[in-house]
Amino acid sequence: MTDVAGRPFRRLLLTGASGGLGRVLRPYLRGLCDTLRASDLVAPPDAGAGEECIGCDVGDRPAVMDLVRGVDAIAHFGGESVENTFDRILHANLLGTFNVYEAARRHGVKRIVYASSGQVTGFYPTDVVVDPSMPVRPSSLYGVSKAFGENLSRLFFDRYGIETVCLRIAMAFPEPTTHRMLRSYLSYRDLCELVHRGLVAPGVGHAIVYGVSANRDLLWRNPDAARIGWTPRDSSEPFRAGVEARQPVPDPDDVQNRFHGGRFTQDGPFEDRAT
């Protein structure tokens, strides 16, 4: 609902507001609403004008019910953002994502942008270009949890009409620093504009968009990007010469170069690889 100042939302919720991407999105999303409700496990510091900063464990259902009350839309970036033990992934990413969607259902929220991950298809070889119609092949427990969230959001759309744009975010950093990142780089500007379009584009239904800038050698096809009206404006090309000068030529047999998911496809007990 657009207010008299032309902002798309009266109150917008950002979970994971203190995380790496949440800190980038927070000032941008503030311009889309009268009030930004910024949430993380510990309340984000330095609440500015038009901000509500709230501490909330997304695995705590009653707390999430209170958190979602009164919001118009949700950018869900909360939870574990890297590989971890199954118990931590279960609590934050599976239970936590269910709690967000169930709270949205109960409070009548009809649009969510869900931070998924390129690790949902991380076990595809790097010589295969992947699109969202292909079966998931997670490269980690974290990737499994994001595939769960995508499927859960599909159920909540089909059953309850809650529209979701799932963002399979690749590598969002100030600039690419490795050969692998030259293919998977997402600029902060493209990230912010992608989340914006995911929140406001009409009639998205259930969409899956790879969060990646207009790089030269892409690992993904992105048909749903046009559905939400998003065209990336940046590219890794301005950084290529510097990366190639600093980094050795990648070994094609190295696991980080064989699969989309890089190091997360390595063998070994999950608990030992938790970060």
Is 270 inside a domain boundary? no
Structural domain range at position 29: 9-261
- CA within 13 Å, CB half, 197: 20
CATH number, domain of 24, equals 3.40.50.720
pLDDT at 5: 52
If 0-12 CB within 10 Å is exposed, 13-18 middle and 19+ buried, where does residue 105 land? middle
Is 239 inside a domain boundary? yes
Sign of CA dihedral 96, 43, 193, 184: negative
| Cα–Cα separations (whole angstroms), residue 94 to 31, 63, 151, 152, 268 | 30, 16, 11, 9, 23
Quote the Cα angle for 103-189-257, to 5°: 90
Number of structural domains in the chain: 1
Rounded CA-CA distance 247/179 in Å is: 7
Query: Residues 164-172: what's their mean pLDDT?
Result: 96
pLDDT at 64 over 60: yes
Whether 160 sits among the annotated catalytic residues: the reply is no
Give SS3 for 114: strand
pTM above 0.85, yes or no: yes
Query: Residues 70-85: what's their mean pLDDT?
Result: 94
**30-57 tens-digit pLDDT:** 999 999 999 999 999 989 999 999 999 9
Is 90 inside a domain boundary? yes
Candidates 142, 185, 188, 210; catalytic one:
142
- Report yes or no: 149 and 202 within 8 Å, Cβ to Cβ: no
Is 275 inside a domain boundary? no
Is 194 inside a domain boundary? yes
Quote the Cα angle for 178-181-186, to 5°: 140
Instruction: Label residue 272 by pLDDT band (50, 70, 90).
Output: low
| β-bridge pairing 163-169 and 9-15 | unpaired
Is 130 inside a domain boundary? yes
The whole-angstrom distance between residue 23's C-alpha and the CA centroid of its chain comes to 13
Query: Residues 50-74: what's their mean pLDDT?
Result: 98
pLDDT at 263 over 90: no
**229-258 tens-digit pLDDT:** 999 999 999 999 999 999 888 887 777 788
| β-bridge pairing 163-169 and 206-211 | parallel
The whole-angstrom distance between residue 76's C-alpha and the CA centroid of its chain comes to 8
pLDDT at 1: 45
Query: Residues 114-127: what's their mean pLDDT?
Result: 95
Is 26 inside a domain boundary? yes
